[in-house]
Amino acid sequence: MYYINKNKKGAGSMIGEQYVQKVIDQVKQRNKGEKEFQDAVTEVLNSLAPVFDKHPEYVQEGILERLVEPERQILFRVPWVDDNGTVQVNRGFRIQFNSAIGPYKGGLRFHPSVNASIVKFLGFEQIFKNSLTGLPIGGGKGGADFNPKGKSDREIMRFCQSFMSELCKHIGPNLDVPAGDIGVGGREIGYMYGYYKKIRSTNDQGVLTGKGLTFGGSLARTEATGFGLVYFTEEMLKDNNLSFNRKTVVISGSGNVAIYATQKATELGAKVVALSDSNGYIYDENGINLDVVREIKEVKRGRIKEYLESVPSAKYVEGCTKIWEIKCDIALPCATQGEINEESAKILVGNGVKAISEGANMPSTLEAIEIIQNAGILFGPAKAANAGGVACSALEMSQNGMRLSWTFEEVDEKLQSIMKNIYKNASEAAKEYGEVGNILVGANIAGFMKVAEAMMSQGIV
Ligand code: NDP
Residue 393 labeled ligand binder: yes
* Euclidean distance between the first and the last CA atom of the chain, given in angstroms as a whole number: 32
Q: Is 43 in the pocket of ligand 1 (CB under 6 A)?
A: no
Range 394-427 burial, b when 16+ CB lie within 10 A, else e: bbbbbbbeeeeebeeeebbebbbebbebbbebbb
Distance from C-alpha of 187 to C-alpha of 190, rounded to nearest angstrom:
5
Q: How far away, in angstroms, is 278 Cα from ligand 1 center?
A: 9
360 within 8 A of 333, measured Cβ to Cβ: yes
> What pLDDT sits at residue 14?
80
Fold of 223-385: Rossmann fold (3.40.50)
Residue whose CA is at the smallest distance from ligand 1 atom 29: 360
Q: How far away, in angstroms, is 182 Cα from ligand 1 center?
A: 5
| Residues carrying an active site annotation | 141
Residue whose CA is at the smallest distance from ligand 1 atom 10: 277
Express each pLDDT in 214-257 by its tens digit. 999 999 999 999 999 999 999 999 999 999 999 999 999 999 99
> What pLDDT sits at residue 12?
46
Q: Is the dihedral of CA 450, 454, 457, 460 positive or negative?
A: negative
Distance from C-alpha of 274 to C-alpha of 317, rounded to nearest angstrom:
11
Question: In order along the chain (461 residues), what is the average pLDDT of each group of 10 residues?
Answer: 45 79 98 95 95 95 98 98 98 98 98 97 97 98 97 98 98 97 95 97 94 97 96 98 98 97 98 97 98 95 96 96 97 96 98 98 94 97 97 97 96 98 98 95 98 98 94
**Where are the alpha helices (H) located in 248-357, listed in sequence order?**
256-267, 290-294, 307-310, 342-350
Distance from C-alpha of 312 to C-alpha of 306, rounded to nearest angstrom:
10
Residue whose CA is at the smallest distance from ligand 1 atom 32: 360
Residue 233 labeled ligand binder: no
Q: Is 441 in the pocket of ligand 1 (CB under 6 A)?
A: no
Residue 126 labeled ligand binder: yes
What is the chain's length? 461
Q: Is 254 in the pocket of ligand 1 (CB under 6 A)?
A: yes
Radius of gyration of the chain from its Cα atoms, rounded to whole angstroms: 21
Express each pLDDT in 370-417 by its tens digit. 999 999 999 999 999 999 999 999 999 999 999 999 999 999 999 999
The structural domains of the chain, with segments of one domain joined by +, span 6-68, 72-203, 223-385
- Which is the closest atom of ligand 1 to the Cα of 129? 43
Distance from C-alpha of 300 to C-alpha of 10, rounded to nearest angstrom:
55
Whether the pTM exceeds 0.85: the reply is yes
φ, ψ (nearest 5 deg) of residue 331:
-115, 130
Q: How far away, in angstroms, is 40 Cα from ligand 1 center?
A: 18
Q: Is 364 in the pocket of ligand 1 (CB under 6 A)?
A: no
Q: Is 360 in the pocket of ligand 1 (CB under 6 A)?
A: yes
Q: How far away, in angstroms, is 227 Cα from ligand 1 center?
A: 15
The CATH code for residues 72-203 is 3.40.50.10860
State whether residue 281 is helix, strand or coil. strand
- Fold equal for 72-203 and 223-385: yes
Q: Is 339 in the pocket of ligand 1 (CB under 6 A)?
A: yes
Distance from C-alpha of 122 to C-alpha of 116, rounded to nearest angstrom:
10
> What pLDDT sits at residue 15?
87
> What pLDDT sits at residue 391?
97
